[in-house]
């Protein structure tokens, strides 16, 4: 029921988009890591990504939702062995193309293609797949909101989505997302240069069970001068801190992790050093599950996935507190 509610909210655009400059390849690579753990092994996943992909203005979480929806549909369409292929490329849509494809706009776009070698659909079915509550799955196996939600998200990004399918041959979705205008991009970069705070040289332990998040956080903090030690779980973080506690100035701790988890890890860290500075990182709202743990000794909160400005501001603010 909660999943259906979220889908209905997204479809009706009650869930606010958080748009920012995005390299779509990063979202594809993140989803690829998740899919490798969840898609059956007899389905091969291929990536063909443009190296110098242009930047789009997008909500990373919603784009990943689109990718996951399309990947799950592809999985369901492949009954035995098959392929899921994800591609990105830079394209320019001209006036002629836009005349024959209602809803498209001329200009530079990033093209995302998601294809499968599954059962495919006839033309009549393909014509209805973006309609709310329409589903090709059996009773109890789908809400029929997945592709209509994908359509709504792409539409809210000023993009265009099309589907081509043939019975027995598979299905291809093509999504066109407009590139950020060069002048807007320069303006955004200038703003970031003005407002991004100075870094530091302190030693920080970054704790998260998602490899992608660890790599991103380490890259952000290292670029601004911090010495970063990464831990994939709470147990590893405690061990690193035990060995290096005299030189560690801050710990950034994921709230939800397998094993001990963030809550118990914080309790153990506070026993070792009640004045230790810990920032909680979570995809939950600061007023959700994170609220209680913030009252248990944590000194700050940052959203996941990391926002560069918010992360650096919070790190500096907590480190500078006496």
Contact 82, 43 (CB under 8 A): yes
Q: Which CATH number does 195-320 carry?
A: 3.40.50.2300
Give the pLDDT confidence of 85-130 residue by residue, as tens digits: 999 999 888 877 787 777 888 889 999 999 888 888 877 777 767 7
179 DSSP 8-state letter: B
- β-pair partners for 228: 204
Looking up tokens 């973080």 gives: 237
Give 11's pLDDT tier (boundaries 50, 70, 90).
Answer: very low
d(CA 9, CA 15): 6
What integer is the mean pLDDT of 22-30? Answer: 92
The per-residue pLDDT for 204 is: 97
Q: Is the pTM of this model over 0.75?
A: no
Give the pLDDT confidence of 47-92 residue by residue, as tens digits: 999 999 999 999 988 898 899 889 888 888 888 788 899 999 998 8
What angle (nearest 5°) sits at the alpha carbon of residue 289, between those of residues 284 and 293? Answer: 115
What is the percent of the chain with per-residue pLDDT over 70, rounded to a whole number?
Answer: 80
d(CA 318, CA 202): 12
- Could you tell me which residue, 271 or 140, shows the higher pLDDT? 271
Q: Which of 73-77, 138-142, 158-162 has the lowest mean pLDDT?
A: 138-142
Q: Which CATH number does 2-183 carry?
A: 3.30.565.10
> Of 172-181, 239-248, 301-310, which has the strongest mean pLDDT?
239-248
Contact 178, 54 (CB under 8 A): no
Please tell me whether the peptide bond between 305 and the residue prior to it is cis, using omega within 30 degrees of 0. yes
- Could you tell me which residue, 131 or 53, shows the higher pLDDT? 53
* Whether pLDDT at 135 is above 70: no
d(CA 130, CA 319): 49
How many whole angstroms from its chain centre is CA 269? 29
* Whether pLDDT at 182 is above 70: no
d(CA 47, CA 84): 9
Contact 3, 37 (CB under 8 A): no
Going from N- to C-terminal start, the domains of the chain cover 2-183, 195-320
What is the pLDDT of the chain when averaged over all its residues?
Answer: 81
d(CA 134, CA 144): 5
Please give the backbone phi and psi of residue 120, each rounded to the nearest 5 degrees, phi first: 75, 180
What is the percent of the chain with per-residue pLDDT over 90, rounded to a whole number?
Answer: 37
What integer is the mean pLDDT of 194-198? Answer: 59
The per-residue pLDDT for 197 is: 67
What integer is the mean pLDDT of 291-314? Answer: 80
SS3 158: coil
Do the two domains 2-183 and 195-320 of this chain adopt the same fold? no
């Amino acid at each position: 029921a909660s999943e259906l509610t979220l889908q209905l909210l997204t479809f009706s655009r009650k869930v606010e988009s958080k748009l920012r400059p995005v390299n779509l390849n990063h979202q594809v690579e993140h989803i690829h890591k998740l899919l490798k753990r969840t898609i059956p092994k007899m389905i091969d996943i291929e990536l063909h990504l443009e190296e110098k992909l242009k930047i789009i203005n997008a909500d990373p979480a919603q784009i990943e939702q689109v990718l996951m929806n399309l990947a799950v549909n592809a999985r369901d369409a492949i009954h035995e062995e098959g392929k899921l292929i994800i591609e990105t490329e830079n394209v320019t849509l001209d006036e002629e193309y836009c005349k024959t494809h209602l809803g498209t706009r001329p200009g530079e776009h990033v093209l995302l293609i998601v294809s499968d070698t599954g059962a495919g659909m006839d033309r009549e079915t393909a014509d209805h797949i973006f309609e709310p509550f329409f589903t090709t799955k059996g009773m109890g196996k789908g809400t029929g909101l997945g592709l209509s939600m994908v359509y709504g998200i792409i539409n809210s990004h000023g993009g265009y989505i099309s589907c081509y399918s043939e019975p027995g041959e598979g299905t291809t979705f093509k999504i066109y997302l407009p590139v950020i205008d060069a002048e807007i991009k320069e303006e955004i970069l200038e703003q970031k240069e003005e407002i991004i705070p100075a870094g530091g040289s302190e030693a920080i332990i970054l704790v998260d069970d998602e490899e992608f998040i660890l790599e991103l956080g380490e890259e952000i903090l290292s670029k601004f001068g911090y010495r970063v030690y990464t831990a994939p779980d709470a147990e590893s973080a405690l061990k690193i801190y035990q060995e290096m506690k005299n030189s560690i100035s801050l710990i950034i701790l994921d709230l939800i992790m397998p094993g001990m988890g963030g809550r118990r890890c914080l309790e153990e860290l506070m026993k070792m050093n009640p004045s230790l500075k810990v920032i909680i990182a979570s995809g939950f709202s600061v007023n959700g599950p994170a609220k209680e743990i913030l009252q248990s000794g944590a000194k700050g909160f940052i959203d996941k996935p990391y926002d560069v400005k918010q992360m650096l501001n919070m790190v500096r603010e907590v480190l500078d507190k006496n």
